[in-house]
Chains A and B, each alone.
Chain A
C-alpha cells in the first residue's frame, strides 16, 4: 500500500548486517561480556502480566529484555465443522510476528514450526478432557523479537491459559540455553543465538518436575547436555515461581 501510485519500489535497510558474521570468533574466547552485560548464567528480568487483551477469554503479556510477546486465548469454542468428533478438547496454536519484530523489516522466521512446537509443549499440560468437542485457540503475537522467542511465547501462553480458566496440571515454564564455544549462556539474546553452536530448550511443569518438551539442536557433548539441562530446569523452577506470583497478584487485584 504505497503512498504513491504504481508498484512499490524495491527498498533496502540502511543498517549493515551482512558482514556481522565475521565477529563470531569473539564468542569462542573463554572470557567475554554478553551484549547486555549479564553473567552467563543470569536470565533477563522477566515482566509478566495477565489480562492484556480484553476481547479474549484470557491473555498475557510477557517482556524478557527486548523480547515482547502477547498471547490471547479464545474459547473453548465450537470446533471447525470439518473436524472429526473428538471426546477430548483440541488445542489450536498460532504464532505470528509483527513486521517490525526483527531488525530488518518483514524478515520473521517461518512461524509454522514455532506454532507446532508451542502446541507440543502445551498439550501435555492441559486437561483436554475438560472441554470435549471444543477447541481452545492459543494465538501469540511477537511484538519484538530479542532472542529466545519460543520459550517466552510458551511461558506466556501457559499464563494466558491460566488466565482464561483452562484447566491445567501445572503452569508450563520454558527456558533455553545456548552453547557458544566452551561456554553455556542461558536465555540468549538474538545476537548470541546467531552465533551459537547449539541450543537446548526445556519446557517443563515446575511443580510436578515433568518435562513436556526437550529440544536439542546443534553440536553438543554429553556432559555439556547434562550441565545445560540442569541449568534449564533450575531456571524453569524459578520462572515458574515468578509466573505463579504474577497470577496471584492479578487474582488479588481483581478481587479488590
Chain B
C-alpha cells in the first residue's frame, strides 16, 4: 500500500518561484533525471531551507492547494513510481502534521512501525580501545557512543570512602544539520543533566566501590557520551549507551607508589609491582544494581507514539520520558511541557509501554555482554 498524492500544479510552480530567491536550489533541474536516492536528498535540502521567504511561499502554496484541490489523497496498490514518491515527500514536508495524522488514523507510522513499537536497537561493547569501558548504542538511526575513562582523585572530606562519576553528553556538529561548531545544541546540556540525575539517583552504582585508599585516593569515572547521529529519542539511546559502557568497564589494576600517587600496574613496571602491592586487584568490575532503561513517548491527541524519530519529535511536541529500572520500579518521569496534557490514564499507558521496552532492552544488553565474553 502506498499513499499517492495528486498535485499537478506543484512541480511547475515550485521551480521558477524558488529560483528567484537568494538561495539557489541545487539539483532542482536534475530532479526528474537522477535515481531515486539522489532525488530524495536533494529534495530534502530544498525543503529544509526554511528561510522566511520560502516559508511564506509554502504558506501561499498550502492555501492554494487546499482551496483548489481538497481531495488530493488517494491510496494505490503496489509499488509507486518515482514521480508519486516525490510528491509524497513534498506533501510530507509541506503539511507534516496532516501527513502524520493521516498515518496515525491508520494506526501506522511513516516508517511502517505500529504506534507502540520501538525501532530496532543494537548494542556493541568495547568500541573504543583507548577507554576503560565503552559502548555503541543504536536505536533506529540514532547512534550514541559512550566511553568511560578512569582517573584518580582525592575524595572530598565528607565522603572519604566514595568515588565520583562525571557524566557529559555531547552533540558534535556531525550528528545533525541543526548543530554548528562553536554553537552547542540546546538539547545537549538538558540531556546531560537528565542522564547524570538518572544514573546517580537510580543507585545503579555504589560510589563506595570506586574508593581506592580511604581518604587518600578514589576513582573519578569520566563518562562521555557522543551523539553520532541524531534521529530522535536521544535520551533513551544515551542512557542505553551509558549503562552498557558501565557494564563493559574494566577498572585498571593500580598500586600506590612511593610518592603517594596511584599508578597502573602494567607489564612494563613489573619490578615495582613486587614492592607495591596492587590496591584493587579484586575490584576490577563494578557491580551494577538495578539498571535503568528509558523510553520516550510522544503524546498527540489520543495517540501515544513510542520511541519517536527526530521528524516526529519536531512535529508533535509533547514528549514524556519514563525511566524504569530492571525490576520495573519507576526511576524518573519527565514531561517537559508541550501542548498536550498528560492524564493519568495516558501516563499509565506510557508506563506499560516502558515495561515492555525495559524487557527488550535488558535482553539486548545481556546479549551484548554475552557476545563480548565469547570473543
Interface residues of A (CB under 8 A from B): 1-4, 6, 8-16, 52-59, 66, 68, 70-72, 74-78, 94, 96, 98-103, 105, 131-134, 137, 139-141, 143-146, 164-165, 254-255
Interface residues of B (CB under 8 A from A): 22-24, 26-27, 35, 37-38, 41-42, 44-45, 48-49, 51, 128-131, 134, 141, 143, 145, 147, 149-156, 159, 162, 164-168, 170, 172-177, 180-181, 192-193, 196, 200, 207, 220, 222, 224, 226, 228-231, 252, 254, 261-264, 266, 269, 310
Interface residue from A3, A57, A77 paired with B49 (Cβ < 8 Å)? A77
| CB pairs A–B below 8 angstroms (16 shown) | A1-B167, A1-B193, A1-B196, A6-B156, A10-B154, A14-B261, A55-B310, A70-B174, A77-B48, A77-B177, A78-B23, A96-B181, A99-B149, A131-B24, A139-B174, A139-B181
Taking CB as reference atom, which chain B residue is nearest A164? Answer: B41
Main DSSP-derived SS at the B contact region: mixed
Which chain B positions have C-beta within 8 A of A14?
150-152, 252, 254, 261-264
Main DSSP-derived SS at the A contact region: loop
Which chain A positions have C-beta within 8 A of B252?
14-15
Interface residue from A3, A57, A74, A94 paired with B164 (Cβ < 8 Å)? A3
Contact A11 B167 (CB under 8 A): no
Which chain A positions have C-beta within 8 A of B168?
1, 99
CA distance A35 to B35 in the complex (A): 47
Contact B49 A78 (CB under 8 A): yes
Contact B23 A133 (CB under 8 A): yes
Tell me which of B48, B170, B180, B220 has the highest count of chain A C-beta atoms within 10 A of its own C-beta: B220
Which chain A positions have C-beta within 8 A of B131?
100
Taking CB as reference atom, which chain A residue is nearest B30? Answer: A165
Contact B164 A12 (CB under 8 A): no
Which chain B positions have C-beta within 8 A of A137?
173, 180
Tell me which of A13, A57, A255 has the highest count of chain B C-beta atoms within 10 A of its own C-beta: A13
CA distance A227 to B278 in the complex (A): 49
Taking CB as reference atom, which chain A residue is nearest B218? Answer: A9
Taking CB as reference atom, which chain B residue is nearest A6? Answer: B156
Which chain B positions have C-beta within 8 A of A3?
164-167, 196, 200, 207
With A77-B48, A134-B23 known, 9 other A-B pairs at CB within 8 A are A1-B167, A3-B196, A3-B207, A10-B154, A14-B150, A14-B151, A70-B228, A78-B23, A100-B128
Interface residue from A16, A52, A139, A164 paired with B172 (Cβ < 8 Å)? A139
Taking CB as reference atom, which chain A residue is nearest B176? Answer: A55
Give, as a whole number of angstroms, the nearest-CB distance from A237 to chain B. 28
Contact B141 A55 (CB under 8 A): yes
